[in-house]
Structure formats: C-alpha cells, structure tokens
Amino acid sequence: MKSCREIHRLVIEGQDRELGFAERFSMRVHLMICTTCKRFDAQIDLMRQALRRFPGD
C-alpha cells in the first residue's frame, strides 16, 4: 500500500493530469481506509473549486 505522502502527491497531480489505472486504484483504496488522506483530498477539491470561481487576470 502507498504511504500517505505518496497519496497526497497523487491527489495533487490528479488535479493537473489524468492518473493511470494503477495510480487511481491505489489512491481510491487508500482513501477508503485513511480518513486523513480522505480529508486532504476533499480540501484540495474545495480549493480547486474556489479558485475556479475567481475571474482570470
């Protein structure tokens, strides 16, 4: 199983690129059992949504 540090990296990278099947699978399995990483994923998603609401420069 991947470490929390590796999952955090995948969560962030997943915002900018499409993750491969193995990356998505290992991330989802980890998120099902780790509440800390699940919370981190939700926070990153909320920040991304908030940034989309701001008009571009």
The structural domains of the chain, with segments of one domain joined by +, span 4-53
How far is the C-alpha of 21 from the C-alpha of 51, rounded, in Å?
27
With 70 as the cut, is the pLDDT of residue 57 above it?
no
- pTM (2 d.p.): 0.83
Q: What angle, 0 to 180 degrees and rounded to 10, lies between the N-to-C axes of helices 4-16 and 21-33?
A: 130
- Does the pLDDT at position 42 exceed 70? yes
CA gap 20, 23 in Å, rounded: 5
What is the per-residue pLDDT across 7-21, written as a single tens digit (0 to 9) for each?
Answer: 999 999 998 999 999
Rounded to 5 degrees, what are φ and ψ at 18? -80, 125
In the chain, the amino acid numbered 38 is K
Whether residue 45 has pLDDT greater than 70: yes
Instruction: At 35, list the tokens.
Output: 């509440």
